[in-house]
Amino acid sequence: TQLLEQSPQFLSIQEGENLTVYCNSSSVFSSLQWYRQEPGEGPVLLVTVVTGGEVKKLKRLTFQFGDARKDSSLHITAAQPGDTGLYLCAGANSGNTPLVFGKGTRLSVIA
Amino acid sequence: DAGITQSPRYKITETGRQVTLMCHQTWSHSYMFWYRQDLGHGLRLIYYSAAADITDKGEVPDGYVVSRSKTENFPLTLESATRSQTSVYFCASSESDRWGTEAFFGQGTRLTVV
C-alpha cells in the first residue's frame, strides 16, 4: 500500500507569514495533486505536478515535485485568512489505480 | 445544475438500519468514487467504479454496498449501520483513470449513527 505522509498536521500562523507544508512518500508516483478543502465542502484541485523537479506557481502558492517523484511541497507566501483550510496531497500512478490521499495539513491563518 | 451533487447533506440514523447515500453527476464522467473522511485518517476510499455496472473495492469496503446501473448515479448503501460508520462521506468523479486526472468532489454527506 502506497502511503503519503503530510506534515505538519496542524499549522496556525499570522497573516503575512510564509509557510511550507510537505508531502512525502517512500513510493514513486507518476503525478501528485494538491487539493484544498474548506469547512463543509469537498476538496478542490489546486494543481497537478507530473515531472520530477517541476515547480508550479499559483499566485502566492508555489508547488514543487521532488526530483525522484516521491515527495512534494507547497509554499505559501504572505499567507492570508482566505488561505485557511485543509490542504491534501494525492498521488497517482500510471494505470487504473485510484488516487492515494495524504491525511492533510490543517492551516489556520489569523488576521 | 451542472456538477456533482450528494444527498442528503446530513443524516442521522440508528444502529442496524439500512441507509443509502446518493451521488449524481452531470458530466458523464466514467469514474466515480466514494470516500469517507475521519479525523486522523484523512480520505479513505470505500468503493470506486470505472463505468456503469463495473465496481471495485477500495481500502475500507466492509459494511458498504454500491451499484452503478447508470453512468450518472453511484449510490452507497450501508446495509446495517454501525457507530463506526459515523463519518463524512464524499463522492467524487473523474473523466478518466489516466494518472493526473482531476477528481471533482461533492459537498459531502455527514452521517451520524446513534
State the DSSP string of A3-20.
--EEE-SEEEEETT--EE
B43 — pLDDT class (breaks 50, 70, 90) = very high
Report the pLDDT averaged over residues B75-81: 97
Contact predicate A86/A36, CB 8 Å: yes
Band (B96; pLDDT cuts 50, 70, 90) = confident
* CA pair distance A49, A72, nearest whole angstrom: 9
Flag whether residue A21 sits within 8 Å of chain B, measured between CB atoms: no
- Looking at residue A45, its pLDDT comes to 94
- Listed by number, the residues of chain A in 53-92 with a beta carbon closer than 8 Å to a beta carbon of chain B are 88, 90, 92
How does residue B1 score in pLDDT terms, banded at 50, 70 and 90? low
Closest by CA to B42, choosing from A109, A89, A29, is: A89
Task: Output DSSP code: residue A98.
Answer: P
Secondary-structure breakdown of chain B: helix, strand, coil percentages, each rounded to the nearest 5: 5, 55, 45
The model's pLDDT over A44-83, given as tens digits with 9 standing for 90+, comes to: 999 999 999 999 999 999 999 999 999 999 999 999 999 9
For B14-25, give the DSSP string: -TT--EEEEEEE
Asked if B102 lies within 8 A of A45 by C-beta distance, the reply is yes
Q: How does residue B99 score in pLDDT terms, banded at 50, 70 and 90?
A: low
Tens digits of residue pLDDT in A35-46: 999 999 999 999
